[in-house]
Structure 1
Amino acid sequence: MNRKLILVIIFCFFDIFQMISHEKTVLSNVEKYKQFGLVWGLLKYHHSEVSKGNYNWDEIFVENVDKLEGVQTQTNLDSFLLNFVVSVEESKIKTDTNMDNVFTKNFDYKWIEQYSGNKELYIKLKKLENNTSIGSYYTSKSGIPTFENEKGFKAFDYKIKSHRLLELFSFWNVIQYYYVNKYLMDKNWFSQLEYFVDDFSNAKTNLEYELAKTKLIVSLNDSHSYYFAKPVSDSLLKFKPPFEIKIVNDTLVITGILNKLGKKDDLKLGDLIVEVNGMDIKSFQKQKIGAKFSSSNDSYLKKWANRWLMRNTKDSIKVKIKRENYITTKYIHLYKTFTDKDYSSLPFFQIEKEWQLIDDNIGYINLKTISKEDITKAFEAFSNTNGIIIDLRNYPKNISGDDITKYTYPDREEFIKVLSPLGNRPSLASFSKPSISIIIDPFKSGGKNSKYYNKKIVLLVDHTTQSKAEYIGMAIQASPTCITVGENTAGSVMNIAIFKLPDGTEFRFTTMGAFYPDGTGVQRKGLKIDHYVKETTSNFTEDQYILKGIELIKK
């Protein structure tokens, strides 16, 4: 027999086999929910009529999810999805496939290809993929997404599966189409969808439901996305230790203690906890804190670890403690409340004033609460100093970057590039500037100043430097004499969006991407660091950040 004819017969047989399999294989509920949620989300953000808010799209989701129980095979599901798509008014299509000068790393519509066997459904979905004739009911058309029309779902009940799935797909789709930092997640967003569907569809209790939601938010890897529901906190943080801790490298140091309760377990200030429940501190932190708090990087986890790491569901916890040459493993008591008021803490070095001279002729400015007027006074007083240390291990309350850079720049300078989502092209973004740039460019700072401060400026940052603080930090870093000292910052720089989920929960995420003018990204990484501070368990009570700043200025 002719070889080509044999190959044709084989391929035909294979196609027939696939078609039969397509028609007869019974789909899992997870797969049905997943495919329907994808199509529902595509229409929400791409369909000209749905995106105008002309339909109660949440109600329609709940009604149709319940109908999926009667759908068995992929062929049946294709028909169901086609009927769903054509049940809404025909979409006005204005196609734009031009990808020049746009950011495409979040563009992901490959899932539509699975419907290529159903020509009518496939064509309709493909047209929506590139449709730009869309409304702004569910998000704005500006470069900063807003979601004012997400009001929640009336009579939401976590006990109802369709309501839980609505919660999931409302969250999943807004991230799919409007989270410009999606490409930076540890795990591919699409690849996690089946696990999320399984968690939400099978959640039997309020705790299981809240844990599924927590896992969803944690997966964003965004330090702006804090969420810690009461059922979760109650399940993890019932009992607390009679002491405070600080993470120094991979060790917990007892920095403050209620003396009577501490004495009960022979605990002292300065004791080093090197293991908890048989795990090293790094592993324990990852298991307990990293799985419950969304964070752009490990440095930011310290914020929550210092506060929650030693809390427990039981009234005791197993620790390994090191004190000089003495090491012991034991259970220590934890408490719901404390009556002991006899408190002691380690003597930390601290500068009380917002600005002052330190170490002979070095200026120090703390940006946390300083006013614009005091910044002016400080730079006037520091004009002849050997250098200035600017402390940004905080969140400035009263100032902007311009209040600093007008003294530290010789000319107006670009300090940041910003990636913004395109309002009429979901999943795409660009580095274009906002309309206000016609009047003044918000991504530039400083001004012409022949008398700018040209001695060394040392900027201090750590894991508490976040959001507005990081934005101000980027502006200060563009000063020609700036050196940055510290540890990785929180890695969540720009504006936040607030999205109300169907159950009424408001969650936040970073709406834009921040980059240095040279193209280096800041989201997740944090600010560029010139000199990392190495704290040890023997030197951390003295401010190693300030000491390093003094050393660099004196060099």
Structure 2
Amino acid sequence: MGWTFRKASSGDYSYELDSMVKQQGKYAVSITSKNATGDFGSIGINIPYRFNGNEIELRGYIKTENINKGFAGFWLRIDGTLAFNNMQNQNVHGTTDWREYSIKLPYDSDKGTNIAAGALLVGGGKIWFDHVQLLIDGKPIENAIIKKIVLTKAEQDTVFNKSSGITNIKLDAQQLKNLTLLGKVWGFIKYHHPEVAKGNVNMDAELFRVLPAVIKARNNQELSSILEQWIGKFGKIQTCDNCKPDSEDKAKLALKLGDSPENWGLSKTLIDKLIALNKSNNSENYYVDTAPNVGNPIFNHEKGYEFMQYPDAGYRLLSLYRYWNMIQYFSPYKHLIGEDWNKVLPAFIPQFINDADNTAYTLTVLALISSINDTHANIWGYRKELEDYRGKFAPPFKAKFIEDKLVVTGFYNDTLNVKSKFKLADVITSINGVKVTELIKKFLPITAASNYSTQLRDMPNNYLLRSNNPHFDFVIERDGKTLNTSIAGLERKSVNYRLDYDPNTGTSGYYVIDKQIGYLYPAKYYNKDLPDIKKMFNGTKGIIVDMRCYPSEFMPFTFVPYIKSGNAPFVKFTNGSVTHPGSFTETPTLSVDPTNEYKGKVIVIVNEQTQSQAEYTTMAFQSSPNVTVIGSTTAGADGNVSPIILPGGISTMISGIGILYPDGAETQRKGVKIDVKISPTIKGIKAGIDEPLEKAKQLILNEVSK
């Protein structure tokens, strides 16, 4: 079986065959970062077959050189499932000689559509890999039995795979109404019709079949007739001949369509068919499943149409319809969006139709994603149009919003006389002739985050401090004076942004402060270190867990028991349903069993960097009575994520399960509960004081009450 290598990177990396440095044979493959602060470089293979077997293993040898600001490893992914591993937790870094590594993943031959594997380098340095083997159930995959795949009717329907045939749509009020109702009915059919559930209908293709007639419909009666004929193509709907839909049935349908069907001018026969479909109880669905033991939605069989540089008007509408209905039926946080989701669909239809190029389409998709107010939801992965829009140059200093002002807080690179032109605590009021307050208003609609604090967290490096012009002009306030200054920007690939995630490069993730307080930085914590941490922290008065980061490993059932006393639960979940799309059920509470080894106080520091797993871990800490949480609003995005792919190859995610405290309080958008509110101040930045950290020390040493 041939292995066809492909390259992928979002930084500046080179890929070579190396005949001098090798583990065996003639060559090894190397990935080299051309600068010290690159993003990542990856090389891999795709095997588009299904095999009989239960476990896939990627095994091979790796050698590294000078990897100090990232990690190296193999990666393995089973498409069609959630199975993925990139060895990040093994933290292979520095300079290492040849060593064999292995990744094993469970293999579901019914759902796995493609095996993707390879090696990657994150950050600077160099990696070599050699003698790579892909095994299934311990045997070389080239000897495995290929499973015969019987294509579903949906997969056989390929008429519209290259184009929808719809390049231009002129909107008037009736057409906007037609397209709004079509989007809702299309999604309703997709997640309710038994024939769709079986995989007998390609819903993308069916949209393009009915779309021309819907566009031409001149009134509600014509629209109703078109939709009824279209639905009839999918197969007979089981109805009760002796039953008539009652008001409750109509109310349930109206809830999913966003309005009473009569108000749309739909015919009675069409309404009856939709009500009958709403009673369908499909135990499975071709287009959606739920993750085993977790419950977040898995959106199956969605094509990304990555080859489309600029999707046509039909595919742009498909993008909107697909995303809107995924949120409508499977987002556990739809009720927290902050606006009526039914109004979002007609508001975005003109934007998607009128997007004149791929940049406009990308920004419209980003605005749609941003509208659900979920920090997990963004455009993820490298997207050239978006990066070109944001700009490739940036100044070499850090700036964050402190006290709602954009403040210089540090330096990424000590170059370009940056420290002579900018000082800590400088307040930036204008960038390239535009006030910061105006820039905030401009970029808020395309800054995807759960709350305002997190939007301000992401805005400087995504938009404010970026430009395609290398020259930056600033107006700053310093010590009561207004100053004008300028600086030449660096190409972003040369800016050391890793300092945002590892501000104390070269230090350990755990140590003792003043022989009295244990300090833990979860971004550098590994469960294998726990025995050493217990010895080091033995006898201390308290522990500070600095959760202003993303944990490297899952801590709730390893580290948390060490500090916990009592059996109080810490979380419960809400899960969606394939059988009843749009409905959610609440699970029983979950607890962490304590070992009660550590008796001292535990202070957890949080802020807008505390996101997802960090928020979940904080909730686990809070189930112990000796824990106090201090800081400021967290990112408000918790729960296992569900990936989504949209036409043009746009990748995004949503929070797929609801996360609740035992008392029912939600963390989405709000963040975790905080006992003591404290945020950095401009005065503290100028003095070089980490005020939340100092407060944590006081709470431990001075017995300050909450």
TM-score, length-normalised on structure 2? Answer: 0.66
Structure 2 distance, partners of 1:504, 1:263, is: 39
Pick closer, same or farther for the CA change 1:73–1:402 going to 2, 3 Å.
same
Q: 1:406 aligns with which of 548, 558, 561?
A: 561
1:277 Cα deviation after fit: 5.7
Pick closer, same or farther for the CA change 1:66–1:157 going to 2, 3 Å.
farther
Per-residue CA deviation, residues 499-540 of structure 1 (Å, 9 max, x unaligned), is 222333221100011111111110111111111223122323
Pick closer, same or farther for the CA change 1:531–1:411 going to 2, 3 Å.
closer
CA RMSD of aligned residues (A): 3.4
Report what 1:57 is aligned to: 203
Instruction: Classify the secondary structure of the residue corresponding to 2:523.
Output: coil
For residues 252-263 of structure 1, what are the structure 2 equivalents within 5 Å? 252-253=407-408, 255-256=410-411, 261-262=416-417
Structure 1 distance, partners of 2:309, 2:272, is: 36
Matched, 1:513 2:667: no
1:115 Cα deviation after fit: 4.4
Q: 2:365 aligns with which of 199, 203, 213?
A: 213
Pick closer, same or farther for the CA change 1:337–1:145 going to 2, 3 Å.
closer
Report what 1:48 is aligned to: 194
Matched, 1:246 2:416: no
Structure 1 distance, partners of 2:225, 2:652, is: 35
Structure 1 distance, partners of 2:358, 2:328, is: 26
Structure 2 segments unaligned to the other structure (5+ residues): 1-171
Per-residue CA deviation, residues 33-76 of structure 1 (Å, 9 max, x unaligned), is 11111111110001111122211111111121123343211111
Q: Is the 8 A contact 1:349 1:542 kept in 2?
A: no
Instruction: Classify the secondary structure of the residue corresponding to 1:538.
Output: helix
Report what 1:112 is aligned to: 261
Q: Give the partner amino acid of 1:87.
A: K
- Bigger mean CA offset, 35-44 vs 158-167: 158-167
Pick closer, same or farther for the CA change 1:477–1:113 going to 2, 3 Å.
farther
Pick closer, same or farther for the CA change 1:148–1:242 going to 2, 3 Å.
same
Report what 2:273 is aligned to: 124
Per-residue CA deviation, residues 149-200 of structure 1 (Å, 9 max, x unaligned), is 2133587573521111111111111111111111111322111111211111
Report what 1:11 is aligned to: none
1:138 Cα deviation after fit: 0.9
Pick closer, same or farther for the CA change 1:335–1:375 going to 2, 3 Å.
closer
Q: Is the 8 A contact 1:354 1:367 kept in 2?
A: yes
Report what 1:489 is aligned to: 634
Structure 2 distance, partners of 1:370, 1:241, is: 31
Report what 2:50 is aligned to: none
- Bigger mean CA offset, 260-269 vs 415-424: 260-269
Pick closer, same or farther for the CA change 1:313–1:130 going to 2, 3 Å.
farther
Structure 1 distance, partners of 2:560, 2:495, is: 48
Q: Is the 8 A contact 2:562 2:598 kept in 1?
A: yes
Q: 1:180 aligns with which of 306, 326, 332?
A: 332
Q: Is the 8 A contact 1:52 1:138 kept in 2?
A: no
Q: Is the 8 A contact 2:289 2:300 kept in 1?
A: no
Structure 2 distance, partners of 1:59, 1:462, is: 46
Report what 1:194 is aligned to: 346
Pick closer, same or farther for the CA change 1:281–1:176 going to 2, 3 Å.
same
Q: 2:696 aligns with which of 532, 549, 554?
A: 549
Q: Is the 8 A contact 1:242 1:262 kept in 2?
A: no
1:287 Cα deviation after fit: 2.5
Structure 2 distance, partners of 1:124, 1:183, is: 28
Structure 2 distance, partners of 1:375, 1:204, is: 55
Report what 1:16 is aligned to: none
Report what 1:539 is aligned to: 684
1:119 Cα deviation after fit: 0.8
1:297 Cα deviation after fit: 1.1
Q: Which structure has the higher relative contact order (CA within 8 Å, separation 6+)?
A: 1
- Bigger mean CA offset, 290-299 vs 88-97: 88-97
- Bigger mean CA offset, 409-418 vs 235-244: 235-244
Pick closer, same or farther for the CA change 1:396–1:259 going to 2, 3 Å.
closer
Pick closer, same or farther for the CA change 1:265–1:112 going to 2, 3 Å.
farther
Pick closer, same or farther for the CA change 1:544–1:202 going to 2, 3 Å.
same
Report what 1:169 is aligned to: 321
Report what 1:312 is aligned to: 467
Instruction: Classify the secondary structure of the residue corresponding to 1:28.
Output: helix
Pick closer, same or farther for the CA change 1:35–1:366 going to 2, 3 Å.
same
1:354 Cα deviation after fit: 2.2
Pick closer, same or farther for the CA change 1:263–1:380 going to 2, 3 Å.
closer
1:318 Cα deviation after fit: 4.7
Per-residue CA deviation, residues 74-133 of structure 1 (Å, 9 max, x unaligned), is 111111111112121023469999x9xxxx9x8664353424651101111122234323
Structure 2 distance, partners of 1:399, 1:264, is: 39
TM-score, length-normalised on structure 1? Answer: 0.83
Pick closer, same or farther for the CA change 1:425–1:407 going to 2, 3 Å.
same
Q: Is the 8 A contact 2:447 2:459 kept in 1?
A: no
For residues 277-288 of structure 1, what are the structure 2 equivalents within 5 Å? 281=436, 284-288=439-443
Per-residue CA deviation, residues 204-244 of structure 1 (Å, 9 max, x unaligned), is 21122111111111111111112163213212324322433
Q: Is the 8 A contact 1:393 1:461 kept in 2?
A: yes
Higher helix fraction: Structure 1 or Structure 2?
1
Report what 1:392 is aligned to: 547
Structure 2 distance, partners of 1:394, 1:258, is: 21
Per-residue CA deviation, residues 254-293 of structure 1 (Å, 9 max, x unaligned), is 52276663469944555331334666645533432x2222
Structure 2 distance, partners of 1:355, 1:254, is: 24
Structure 1 segments unaligned to the other structure (5+ residues): 1-25, 434-440
Structure 2 distance, partners of 1:479, 1:113, is: 54
- Aligned-residue sequence identity (percent) comes to 28
Q: 1:273 aligns with which of 428, 453, 459?
A: 428
Q: Is the 8 A contact 1:93 1:133 kept in 2?
A: no
Q: Is the 8 A contact 1:388 1:457 kept in 2?
A: yes
Instruction: Classify the secondary structure of the residue corresponding to 1:261.
Output: coil
For residues 221-240 of structure 1, what are the structure 2 equivalents within 5 Å? 221-227=373-379, 229-240=383-394
